Structure 1
Amino acid sequence: MNQLDSMRIFSKVAECLNFADAARQLGISNAVVTRSVATLENHLRIRLINRTTRRVALTTAGQAYFEGCQDLLRQLTAMEQRILSTTAHPVGCLRIASPASFSQSKLAMILTAFRAEQPHVSFDVTVYETINEIAAENYDLCFTAERRLRDSSMVCRPLVRMHDVVVAAPAYIARRGQPTTPAALTEHDILLATDAPNRYWEFRDLNGAHRVSLNPILTTQSLLAVKSAAVTGLGIARIANVLVERELAEGSLVALLRDFQLDSNERTVWMLYSGQPFITQVVRSFIDFVVDRYRDEDAVLARPTRSTRMALGSNDARIQ
């Protein structure tokens, strides 16, 4: 027996004092109403309603039970309204993990715009250098910028594709000169992030491929450290374009070798989150907001897919 449903049906009968009217208002059959009230009486082992061919009346116990049902159902309705109010207006703290490069370039703008729409949401952001430093499943959402996405059991949503550029500061160029061919890089000071795919950079032009072996003067896992070193004039660096947009616009960094195509120069910003069926409204609201924000940009949005074998290996790669 579903006691709550039986209580609702009994309460409607007690209001109408008519089984047929109660059935019509509830949108169920007379037989269901009669059977439900009888089941409830059997469960309580007491008669709640006296019924004859002419009239329906509550017993003394039935009147007391009806009043109790009304109180309980009012409380239940109020609780449901509070829950629905909360889900209609997201409230809570979002636990977000983000790579340092994304947190420095795009994340702050996203959080500011979302907070303007949802002022009752706060953020707890963990910044990391490499995805190996964190357990993505411990967060509501995790952003990651990868050339090749590692195996994941989470929902993985591609947001936008970035590309690397080779840059140097004007001070470095004034001191060491500007390379005009990839081969000339062997005579220059190279700053290398350890997330680079290889210890060489490969370029292409109409004449074919040009592979340049690297002997860096600085190696670090931090893209931000590479960027800072490049801005100060320490050497030539390969950095994601979104990380140096402002510096390129202001002239504190200059793009080099623009007549050559840099191979393996793309990485994708992914948003990872749990696919659990009862995802909270605040998380769902933020996911939808981020996806909508990138939809109008030069994005590679695809349907979210759960997969344990996902890779981005070429321009045409998609989540499988």
Structure 2
Amino acid sequence: MNQLDSMRIFSKVAECLNFADAARQLGISNAMVTRSVATLEKHLRIRLINRTTRRVALTTAGQAYFEGCRDLLRQLTAMEQRIISTAAHPVGCLRIASPASFSQSKLAVILTAFRAEQPHVSFDVTVYETLNEIAAENYDLCFTAERRLRDSSMVCRPLVRMHDVVVAAPAYIARRGQPATPAALTEHDILLATDAPNRYWEFRDFNGAHRVSLNPILITQSLLAVKSAAVTGLGIARIANVLVERELAEGSLVALLRDFQLDSNERTVWMLYSGQPFITQVVRSFIDFVVERYRDEDAVLARPTRSTRMALGSNDARIQ
């Protein structure tokens, strides 16, 4: 038995919780995956995976073994990367997770610019709508745009702040008119993303605060879906400015209530990664590149320290 190969195969099954998906990602047969896991269990004399026709789940021993395998394989990958790489030419595939909004607005530009400098680097990108969809430890880096982060053991690098704007399409304005005050929003069709802080929007001007309760006609997890609905004229939306820069410039969306300031309208784009000493050269190069790019744009916030690790939340496993 090649134990290292068996550990790699088992780890992929543990990540996917599906034998067929693991086989497809590894480029081997289902039978080989099944045989490898069975051989590993026989070697260890303990069951690692409970599997039925409907479900695959790790046993307690399997979870502990998976965590150990993951750490060991990460260290092995880092060691191999240091040997085969040079300072001038990072080599390897970066596994990146990104929210759909960031992947559409900024990520492609970053990847293009980085690969122009490092042509031996490739990318495996997972796009998600909410953080609950992913486990950050399965990626080299994770981008997220949050109003606030919760506790975690990952290193979180603040990159840039975005602010929300209230927008509508000219077609909607022609049909329903443009609200002159926040209170007028109650007579309009509202499009709401579920990452909104509340079911109301609060504005401020020289007269004080104006809180408007919302009765949205559309609620969705996807900011991109809200944007698309707004562009087609379905209603009025509150969207991060970086997502609608082009539409505002082209006139397919119009900013509303510009004499009022939105409360809780800022969110931060974070880059999250493991703080382990075995970080690969290609990951380190990419981190430095992204930070420098935002620094050049005068958008970088305070430099993080080990004590300023922030969070993805309880649904994400901690990386030690």
TM-score (norm 2): 0.71
Distance 1:182-1:89 versus aligned 2 partners, 3 A rule: same
TM superposition shift of 1:300:
3.8
Distance 1:124-1:58 versus aligned 2 partners, 3 A rule: closer
| 8 Å CA contact retained: 1:151, 1:308 | no
SS of the residue aligned with 1:156? Answer: strand
TM superposition shift of 1:86:
3.1
Distance 1:311-1:319 versus aligned 2 partners, 3 A rule: farther
Distance 1:309-1:39 versus aligned 2 partners, 3 A rule: closer
Which digits, 9 at most, give the CA deviation of each residue in 1:207-265, with x for residues without a partner? 00000000000000000000000000000000000000000000000000000000000
Aligned equivalents of 2:40, 2:301: Cα separation in 1: 54
Which digits, 9 at most, give the CA deviation of each residue in 1:144-167, with x for residues without a partner? 000011222111000000000000
Max radius of gyration: which structure? 1
| 8 Å CA contact retained: 2:96, 2:126 | yes
SS of the residue aligned with 1:115? Answer: helix
| 8 Å CA contact retained: 1:302, 1:318 | no
TM superposition shift of 1:63:
53
TM superposition shift of 1:312:
13
TM superposition shift of 1:274:
0.4
- Greater mean alpha carbon deviation, residues 146-155 or residues 45-54: 45-54
SS of the residue aligned with 1:264? Answer: coil
- Greater mean alpha carbon deviation, residues 10-19 or residues 310-319: 10-19
Aligned equivalents of 1:272, 1:245: Cα separation in 2: 25
Aligned counterparts, 1:208-219, within 5 A = 208-219=208-219
| 8 Å CA contact retained: 2:134, 2:316 | no
The sequence identity of aligned pairs, in percent, is 97
| 8 Å CA contact retained: 1:156, 1:306 | no
| 8 Å CA contact retained: 1:152, 1:308 | no
SS of the residue aligned with 1:119? Answer: coil
Aligned equivalents of 1:42, 1:274: Cα separation in 2: 33
Match of 2:188 in 1: 188
TM superposition shift of 1:69:
35
TM superposition shift of 1:305:
2.7
The total of aligned residue pairs comes to 320
Structure 1: runs of 5+ lacking an equivalent: none
Aligned equivalents of 1:203, 1:80: Cα separation in 2: 54
Aligned equivalents of 2:189, 2:48: Cα separation in 1: 91
Structure 2: runs of 5+ lacking an equivalent: none
Match of 2:102 in 1: 102
Aligned equivalents of 2:119, 2:130: Cα separation in 1: 31
| 8 Å CA contact retained: 2:162, 2:242 | yes
RMSD of the alignment, in Å?
18.4
SS of the residue aligned with 1:259? Answer: coil
TM-score (norm 1): 0.71
Aligned equivalents of 1:223, 1:22: Cα separation in 2: 31
SS of the residue aligned with 1:314? Answer: coil
TM superposition shift of 1:97:
0.2
Which digits, 9 at most, give the CA deviation of each residue in 1:278-305, with x for residues without a partner? 2111000000000000002242422223
